[in-house]
Amino acid sequence: MTDLRRAMCDATTVVVKVGSSSLTLPGGGIDVRRVDDLVDVLSEVVADGKRVIVVSSGAIATGFPAMGMTHRPRTLAGKQAAASVGQGILLAHYTSRFAGHGLRVGQVLLTVNDLVRPTSYRNAWSTLDTLLELGVVPIVNENDTVATGEIRFGDNDRLAALVAELVRAQALILLSDVDALYTAHPDSPDARRIEVVDDIDALDVDTHKAGSGVGTGGMATKLEAARMAVGAGIPVVLAAAADACGALAGDPVGTYFPPMATRRSRRLLWLADAATPQGQIVIDDGAVEALTQRHSSLLAVGVIRVHGDFQAGDPVTIVASDGRVVGRGIAQFPHDEVRVMRGRSSAWLAAEMGPAASREIIHRDAMVLSRRRRRAQSSSG
């Protein structure tokens, strides 16, 4: 263990994501030996007193050969059918192998809709926390059997980061068939392993190559997951599945992403990474400066335009006049009232609409600023 990675060894709650390519055979079907090796490592970690959540891919890749298919299905219905069969096979093997170590597992299938609404977000946390308190190892996967293209996480890397945020994990391990992040594609002769990434946004690496033939992810999705996790104060290691033991022990394997110093509340993590904005509030340059430089709340006087039909308590995107995304926040007024209030001073609002109208449109404690400034897309006027 190195001092830099001591956080990985000291973590009491760990989320371990393992990709399809690390659990299944190249042509599909479960790779029993590799699954068993991973379970053996994780069981030792649990025996040491740690709480472990496994975010497991592999349902589709496990299921399609069992259905007599010769290749991974391309249609949504085919993928969902293969996932339905494969999920049972995969979970049965997890159950059997963990049982050999005296451990129970519990299946948790999630869709985006389970995490974008505050109530179901809290319910998901409560379920996972209860399983962990009972000594059960949760096996989490996206609910491929019902998720459509519009409500998919897109890849289990992002799901793993959201789960890590949800349970307030102290470490996230991303396991795949690639042993680290490299300066170029690992097949390139001049590629060098990157041991530590202090600033993901400053990286200059090629992440365009897709993942394996049995999976859906690639390096880009892993970097996005790492960005989410470190922003939540969670250290991340990207490593090969064969190096799982070393990654969990804090050994210098794979690539390490140290956490940011501050850790947001669960509510703000939901707002930043899981919530679906219900509208946009466009603000002037003065308001942008007040939010980003002085950490102020958003007042009505700084609002230029309002898009969408949001209600009080809904998440909204905060956008600069040139289209840059400033952040997200929870609106304290519905869209129709904000439209009336925009551009007005607090004194005018208090005099004309009553004291309640002089409150902030979005309070600074219910706001997260973007780590990356990007251009927003709006379809309403």
Q: Is 216 annotated as a binding residue?
A: yes
**3-class SS string, 308-348:** ECCCCCCEEEEEECCCEEEEEEECCCCHHHHHHHCCCCHHH
Contact 11, 201 (CB under 8 A): no
Summarised one tens digit per residue, pLDDT across range 295-330 is 999 999 999 999 999 999 889 999 999 999 999 999
Q: Is 207 annotated as a binding residue?
A: no
Angle, nearest 10°, between helix axes 32-47 and 76-99? 50
Residue 45 has pLDDT above 70, yes or no: yes
Residue 209 confidence (pLDDT)? 52
> Comparing 184 with 295, which gets the higher pLDDT?
295
Residue 220 has pLDDT above 50, yes or no: yes
Residue 213 confidence (pLDDT)? 43
Summarised one tens digit per residue, pLDDT across range 116-159 is 777 888 899 999 999 999 999 999 988 766 655 543 555 788 88
Using CB atoms within 10 A of its CB, is residue 74 exposed (0-12), middle (13-18) or buried (19+)? Answer: exposed
Q: Is 313 annotated as a binding residue?
A: no
What integer is the mean pLDDT of 76-104? 92
Q: Is 209 annotated as a binding residue?
A: no
What integer is the mean pLDDT of 97-125? 87
Percent helix, percent strand, percent coil in the chain, to nearest 5: 40, 20, 40
Stated pTM of the model: 0.80
Residue 154 confidence (pLDDT)? 54
Angle, nearest 10°, between helix axes 76-99 and 59-66? 100
What integer is the mean pLDDT of 231-244? 94
Residue 147 confidence (pLDDT)? 55
The count of other CB atoms within 10 Å of the CB of residue 354 is 9
Q: Is 106 annotated as a binding residue?
A: no
Query: CA 266 → CA 86, 249, 256, 358, distances in Å?
Result: 33, 27, 24, 28
CA pair distance 39, 102, nearest whole angstrom = 12
Quick one: tokens of 80? 């969902």
Q: Is 222 annotated as a binding residue?
A: yes
Domains defined for the chain, CATH in brackets: 6-268 (3.40.1160.10), 277-369 (2.30.130.10)
Contact 166, 189 (CB under 8 A): no
What integer is the mean pLDDT of 230-248? 94
Q: Is 143 annotated as a binding residue?
A: no
Contact 53, 169 (CB under 8 A): yes
Residue 158 confidence (pLDDT)? 87
Q: Is 157 annotated as a binding residue?
A: no
Residue 335 has pLDDT above 50, yes or no: yes
Among 28-37, 107-116, 311-320, 353-362, the minimum mean pLDDT is found in: 107-116
pLDDT band at residue 206 under the 50/70/90 scheme: low
Q: Is 265 annotated as a binding residue?
A: no
Q: Is 50 annotated as a binding residue?
A: no
Q: Is 57 annotated as a binding residue?
A: yes
Residue 184 has pLDDT above 90, yes or no: no
Q: Is 183 annotated as a binding residue?
A: no
The count of other CB atoms within 10 Å of the CB of residue 36 is 14
pLDDT band at residue 47 under the 50/70/90 scheme: very high
Residue 365 has pLDDT above 70, yes or no: yes
Residue count of the chain = 381
Q: Which long-range contacts (CB under 8 A, 24 or more apart) does 288-293 make?
A: 288/320, 288/326, 291/318, 291/326, 291/327, 291/364, 291/367, 291/369, 292/326, 292/369
What integer is the mean pLDDT of 88-102? 96
The per-residue DSSP string of 175-219 comes to EESS-SEESS-TTSTT--EE-B-S-GGG------SB--TT-S-BH
Residue 375 confidence (pLDDT)? 41
Q: Average model confidence (pLDDT) for the chain?
A: 87
Q: Is 113 annotated as a binding residue?
A: no
